[in-house]
Amino acid sequence: MILYDPSARTLTLHTRRTTYQMKADGYGVLLHTWYGPRVDGQDLSYLIGYADRGFSPNPREAAARRDYSLDTLPQEYSTCGVGDYRPASAAAEQPDGSLMLDLRYAGHEIREGKYSLDGLPAFFGGEGWQTLSVRLEDPHSGLAAELLYGVCERYDLITRAVVFTNEGRQPVLLRKAASLCLDLPSANLEFITFDGGHVRERGLNRSLLRPGVQSVGSVRGASSHQHNPFVMLCEPGAGEEHGLVYGAALVYSGNFLAEAERSQFETARLVLGIHPQHFGWSLAPGERFAAPEAAMVCSPDGFAGMTHRWHAAMRECLIRDPLHGARRPVLVNNWEATEFHFTAQRLVEIAREGAALGAELFVMDDGWFGKRDDDRSGLGDWVVNPQKLPGGLNALVRQVNGLGMRFGIWVEPEMVSEDSELYRAHPDWALGAPGRPQTLSRSQLVLDFTRREVRDCIYAALCRVLDSAPIAYVKWDVNRSLADVWSAALPAARQGEVFHRYILGVYEMMDRLRRDYPQILLEGCAGGGGRFDAGMLYYAPQIWCSDNTDAIDRLRIQYGTSFCYPVCAVGSHVSAVPNVHTGRTTSIETRGVVAMSGTFGYEMDLGRCTEAEKQVVRRQIEFFKRHCRLIQQGVYDRLSAPDDAFTAWQQTAPDGTEALASVVWGPVHAAGPFCAVRLRSLAPNKRYRVNGGGELYTGAALMTAGLPLPLPKHDYQAWQFYLQAEE
């Protein structure tokens, strides 16, 4: 519910449990007065303190009020260069070189439904959403900003976006255009980020905000393995079930910056948006620029409450499901089994073993096209390699279909190898500045996706492949970070637009793919989880979570991922042991339990398993098929953290009728203690049977006292406990 109080000039956004409020004061400054647990019927600006602070300047029109300074007041969308020294939300360079930007309130509109953003991913709204549009103007430059807010009451979710318009007579250069600014009255908060690198994505890090600005971001052209565009602020010591928590996600897959400041007056500011480094967007008179969407959730009841809201909102209002609610297929992917070295026959063997055990989709990974026997050549030549697939793609797909399996394919459309027909024909299509040697990574260059003709050529080649055989799934990979970001298609003054235009190009092509092949399930991938963000989820309903398939390392990666992103989005497979990344051997049971908390599949030749292991695999697939809805759509709870003696998590049906708790032990010590795990989200008064056993336990007991665990017999032993409520 969005309310405007004309006498107080407050705009209040209520969700079920939270309230967000701003107020246009007498000077037209849009103050941020509150974000937190719900407060009804109150102008919350009484909380704002005014004092004459040294070195905090006063705007001209408030010159007589020494206690009035943009430097001390909470701002809804912070200005630049006019007396607020905390992180600016936007910066614009005028033709005279000045960088000042002072955006003031100039009106608003409240609408039913949710705004959308042309060419950018965004929560698509639905029933019960409302939009607030606030107009801000900088009278001195003619630059106007429309602050957009989408309110989803049900999930306590507020989305934001900003659209700039140059209404002046001179061109301006936008140098920063953040999507979200959040000023909070107390800096006694912890800043939580999800960090790591390739094969160790999204590890949780939390620390108290310290004076100054702390930031995470990416200038790699993708949201990155190193940091994720989802961050949180919380009360010190907040836990799964207690404490005030704020989460903010950028619905964007390119460069980003998240800045959190503890200010001199012990207030906090979070600014989130496109990274300003390498960014500059020219706006001629009359032109507009839309900053990507950001979304916020405030949870008054700890991290679990935050996760429940994000997962539900993303599943229902962000991820577009090509299967329309039907269960996602259990897949077998040949990558770790064969890498580049396979024949059609070998692929069919791997598919046959999978089909016999119940898998439903076979995915042919890298190596099927052009000259691609290793990762040094072939990217860009999207034609089947006749040596590997002599009968062509259609014949292979028919064979796989004949096994009762659907067929999926791997592509890396944004890249080109120097050793490829495409590069030989169009060397200028790769990003890179004239006269400067390009940086290679995995021996490949990046195609200039800002250019329509480049995208059209690649898209046409992909269409020829997709039209040649019944293909049900595409894994869209990207295996390097961007460098030498310079486009031959743009003048010198517009090179600051390349990073963003690149991502817009990726989105445009993914959108075309969705439109032209609505039945195809798209899986995002960037060397595993290098582009795992809310923006990508708008196009690709699932994303390969990490190239690291070691079950124990995955516990940590999936734990971090789970704070924001729902299980149905997390690409997760069982792979062979010893694991290629860690050398660790875990049992097939443990690998299955971990992979099952995702899209589920096998990244191995199941023909290499022992008969006993095959029986386990068959049971795993059956179990997953039976409980997929609970696993992927259920209410998700983390029951312990990966540093604890065991890692446990739970999915529960929203009506509390069933639940699945999964537990994986760490290293075992002799004569260890008996442990119990406290469950969550159950119906306290229902009585549950565990794994079909004879005893019944009340939900209250299981949540308060816990479920006892067996003593582990070896390192990394895993269990699943399926709970069913008695009628």
CA proximity to 253, closest of 428, 414, 455: 414
Residue given tokens 């439903």 in the structure block:
360
- Tell me the C-alpha distance between 125 and 51, whole Å: 42
Tokens read off for 8: 């107080």
In the bound complex, what is the minimum distance in angstroms from residue 546's beta carbon to ligand GLA? 8
Q: What are the CA-CA distances from residue 650 to residues 212, 411, 681 (Å)?
A: 38, 34, 9
Distance CA(8)–CA(29), nearest Å, equals: 13
Q: Least CB distance from residue 408 to ligand GLA, whole Å?
A: 12
Rounded-to-integer distance, Cα 169 and Cα 167, Å: 7
149 vs 369, beta carbon nearer ligand GLA: 369
Measured from the CB atom, the residue of 35 and 368 that comes closer to ligand GLA is: 368
Find tokens 């010190």 and name the residue: 236
Write down the least CB distance from residue 444 to ligand GLA, Å: 10
Which CB, 335 or 624, lies closer to ligand GLA? 335
703 φ/ψ angles, rounded to the nearest 5 degrees: -85, -30
As a whole number of angstroms, the distance between CA 203 and CA 561 comes to: 8
CB of 480 to ligand GLA, least distance (A): 10
Q: Which residue has the tokens 């991820």?
A: 319
Tell me the pairing of strands 473-476 and 406-411. Answer: parallel
Residue placing its CB nearer to ligand GLA in the complex, 572 or 681 = 572
Instruction: Identify which of residues 246 and 410 has a Cβ nearer to ligand GLA in the complex.
Output: 410
Least spacing, CB of residue 337 vs ligand GLA, in Å = 12
Which residue of the set 5, 235, 301, 613 is catalytic? Answer: 613
Quote the CA–CA distance of 445 and 655 in Å, as a whole number: 51
* 102 vs 547 by CB, closer to ligand GLA: 547
Task: Respond yes or no: is residue 533 known to be catalytic.
Answer: yes
- Please count the residues of the chain: 727
Quote the distance between the C-alpha of residue 157 and its chain's center: 15
Looking at beta carbons, which residue is closest to ligand GLA? Answer: 366
666 touches 637 (CB < 8 A)? no
168 to each of 99, 187, 248, 283, 677, how far by Cα in Å? 15, 38, 33, 10, 63
Residue 561: exposure state from Cβ atoms within 10 A (0-12, 13-18, ≥19): buried
Shortest Cβ distance from residue 716 to ligand GLA (Å)?
A: 23
Site for ligand GLA, rule CB under 6 A: 335, 365-366, 410, 477, 479, 525, 527-528, 544, 547
Find where tokens 């007589």 sit.
64
- Residue 157's nearest CA partner among 292, 262, 313, 307 is 313
Around Cβ 669, how many Cβ atoms within 10 Å? Answer: 10
- Residue number, 24 or 606, with CB nearest to ligand GLA: 606
Which lies closer to ligand GLA via its Cβ, residue 311 or residue 475?
475
Nearer to ligand GLA, 340 or 459 (CB): 340
Q: Which 8-state DSSP code applies to residue 404? A: T
Q: Hey, CA dihedral for 5, 10, 11, 16, is it positive or negative?
A: negative
Nearer to ligand GLA by Cβ, of 230 and 544: the residue is: 544
Taking the least distance from each CB to ligand GLA, the nearer of 267 and 572 is 572
Which is nearest to 284 in space by CA: 175, 179, 173?
173
Supply the minimum distance, in Å, between the C-beta of residue 598 and ligand GLA: 14
634: helix, coil or strand? coil
Cα separation, 430 vs 417, in Å, equals 10
Which DSSP state fits 710?
Answer: P
Least distance between ligand GLA and beta carbon 525 (Å)? 5
For residues 13 and 19, is the Cβ–Cβ distance under 8 A?
Answer: yes
Of the candidates 153, 533, 550, 603, the residue annotated as catalytic is 533
Alpha-carbon distance values, 658 to 72, 98, 689 (Å): 51, 62, 9
Least distance CB 446 / ligand GLA (angstroms): 15
622 closest CA partner among 339, 301, 359: 359
What minimum distance in Å lies between the beta carbon of 451 and ligand GLA?
25
In this structure, the strands spanning 687-690 and 676-677 are: unpaired
Q: Distance between the two ends of the chain, CA-based, in angstroms?
A: 38
- For the CB of residue 562, give the shortest distance to ligand GLA in the complex, in Å: 20
CB count in 10 Å sphere of residue 436: 9
270: number of Cβ within 10 Å = 25
Token pair belonging to 529: 């989880």
Residue 476: CB minimum distance to ligand GLA, A: 10
For residues 575 and 590, which CB has a smaller minimum distance to ligand GLA in the complex? 575
Closest CA to 269 of 178, 147, 135, 158: 178
Which H or E run includes 50? none
Distance CA 307, CA 671 (A): 36
Q: How far is the CB of 522 from ligand GLA (least distance, A)?
A: 14
Q: Provide the b/e sequence for 480-490 (b: ≥16 CB within 10 Å).
A: bbbbebebeeb
Return the amino acid letter for 181: C
Query: What are the catalytic residues?
Result: 533, 613
